[in-house]
Amino acid sequence: MRFADELYMRRALELAALGHNTTRPNPMVGCVVTYKGKIIGEGCHQQYGGPHAEVNAINSLADKSLLPQCKVYVTLEPCSHYGKTPPCADFLIEHGVRSIFICNTDPNPLVAGRGIRKLLDAGCEVHVGLLEEEGSELNKRFFTFHRHKRPYIVLKWAQTADGFIAQSNGEPTAISGSLAKKLVHKWRTEEQAIMVGTRTALSDNPHLNVREWTGNAPIRIVIDKNLRLPPTLHVFDKKQPTFVYNYERHENTPNLEYVKITPAVDLLEQILPDLHQRSIQSVLVEGGTILLNHFLASDIWDEIRVLRSPQQLENGVKAPSLPLTGLTQTATIGDDELFIYRKYQ
Ligand code: AOF
Ligand code: ZN
């Protein structure tokens, strides 16, 4: 692989990222076409349901007859299936493309190597694995969803300098500052769903919507095993699709669905496959401690984001313990410190 190939693939990744927040649950994909070392066409998958990156890139060409002498750089294996659009592998072959570079194979069971197979069978030269890590990182939610058959899990909490997450009496306390709050609302636009446990829903009465940022509001997931939560809480306002996992009721009304689970099986063992089946690729878990500790004890998480404020509470509900390894990023957000832990699996 030449340095130039890497450069073109970096451009394809850059194009792919333009689809941030608009392609899900589809991955972000970018594509670049070069002729004699010059980029002559570019495209990305812009919108869920819309044309794929390869189609946009090829349709951007002024002269498609050059394609047999071109190199095509695409960040994900071209698809082989009839979904919302016809197979990209066929599209490339029909247009006479002979040389293709790919970052990642597509883990979607509908594709899973069949796109590459088609290209090879048609006699194309296929290079797989160029900037593979960068590609995996860009579509971390999509890859985790298909590889582990569960959504990408982001655990988030705010804690005081002395390690408390809430007051013991259940009274809501503002722990982080206004800038950190904005950041949390940005995070809410980036994940497909947001989850809270019973005590948090009750004591904080959160809206779990997006007010301090612009973007899509996530699907709300509320754990209310014994249906203790009053229907007057904000989470039941039906302004966003909301799932309530509980032991008693199975009921589906517009924007409010009760999903029955059983006490005989671990909570996460029931909820995560259900979310997978609903094509939910990522969840931001916003508390409280019981739920966060359950994810941590089960070792089911991909990212932990902790906002630590300078405040002291002296007593209260203890914040979960952080892992000993995996700290990948720290930042100062107003008066708060942000710590991000990652688990690569
Ligand atoms: C590509 N190029 O740009 C994208 C691909 O329902 P559809 O037809 O949009 O297909 C969605 C699936 O296609 C998605 O889950 C993933 O496997 C693949 N995405 N493939 O060749 C693209 N976005
Ligand atoms: Zn495709």
Please say if 54 is a catalytic residue. yes
Tell me, what's the pLDDT at 172? Answer: 80
CB 320 within 8 A of CB 171: no
**Pocket perturbation via mutation, ligand 1, pick of 76, 138, 146, 192 by most ligand atoms within 8 A of CB:** 76
Q: Is 64 helix (H, G, I), strand (E, B) or coil?
A: helix
**Does domain 149-342 bear CATH number 3.40.430.10?**
yes
d(CA 43, CA 11): 10
Strand partners, 222: 196, 244
> Is the CB of 29 within 6 Å of ligand 1?
yes
Beta strands 327-333 and 336-342: pairing type?
antiparallel
Task: Count CB-CB contacts under 10 A for residue 26.
Answer: 22
Q: Closest residue (by CA) to atom 14 of ligand 1? A: 26
Query: Among the options 42, 54, 77, 191, which is catalytic?
Result: 54
Return the domain boundaries, the chain. 3-142, 149-342
**DSSP-based three-state secondary structure for 181:** helix
Residue in the block written with tokens 């013991």: 168
The DSSP annotation for 109-166 comes to: TTTTTHHHHHHHHTT-EEEE-TTHHHHHHHTHHHHHHHHHSS-EEEEEEEE-TTSEEE
| CA 72 / ligand 2 centre spacing (Å) | 14
Q: How many CA atoms lie within 13 A of 226 on its CB side?
A: 2
The rounded distance, in Å, linking the Cα atoms of 32 and 54 is: 8
DSSP string, 193-218: EEEE-HHHHHHH----S-SSS-SPPP
ipTM value of the model? 0.90
Asked whether this chain's domains 3-142 and 149-342 adopt the same fold, the reply is no
**d(Cα 296, Cα 149) in Å, to the nearest integer?**
18
Closest ligand 1 atom, residue 106 Cα: 17
- What 295-299 contacts at long range (C-beta under 8 Å, 24+ apart), as own/partner pairs, is 295/153, 295/155, 295/268, 296/155, 296/320, 296/321, 296/323, 298/266, 298/268
Q: Kindly give the distance from the C-alpha atom of residue 52 to the centroid of ligand 1, in angstroms, as a whole number.
A: 6
Mutation choice for ligand 1 from 13, 42, 52, 81, CB with most ligand atoms inside 8 A: 52
Helices and strands in the chain, H and E counts: 10, 17
Residue numbers in the known binding site for NADP(+) are 158, 200, 204
Residue closest via CA to ligand 1's atom 22 equals 52
CATH code that applies to domain 3-142: 3.40.140.10
Cα separation, 16 vs 10, whole angstroms = 10
108 lines ligand 1 (CB under 6 A): yes
CA of 102 to the centre of ligand 2 (A): 13
Counting from 1 in the atom list of ligand 1, the atom nearest the Cα of 29 is 3
Atom of ligand 1 nearest to the CA of 115: 21
In tens digits, the chain (345 residues) has pLDDT values of: 689 999 999 999 999 999 998 998 899 999 999 999 999 999 999 999 999 999 999 999 999 999 999 999 999 999 999 988 899 999 999 999 999 999 999 999 999 999 999 999 999 999 999 999 999 999 999 999 999 999 999 999 999 999 999 988 878 888 999 999 999 999 999 999 999 999 999 999 999 999 999 999 999 999 999 999 999 999 999 999 999 999 999 999 999 999 999 999 999 999 999 999 999 999 999 989 999 999 999 999 999 999 999 999 999 999 999 999 999 999 999 999 999 999 976
Say yes or no: CB of residue 22 within 6 Å of ligand 1: no
Binding residues: 52, 79, 88, 158, 188, 200, 204, 208, 211, 286
pLDDT of residue 173: 84
Q: Is the CB of 135 under 6 A from ligand 1?
A: no
Total residue count of the chain as it appears in this document: 345
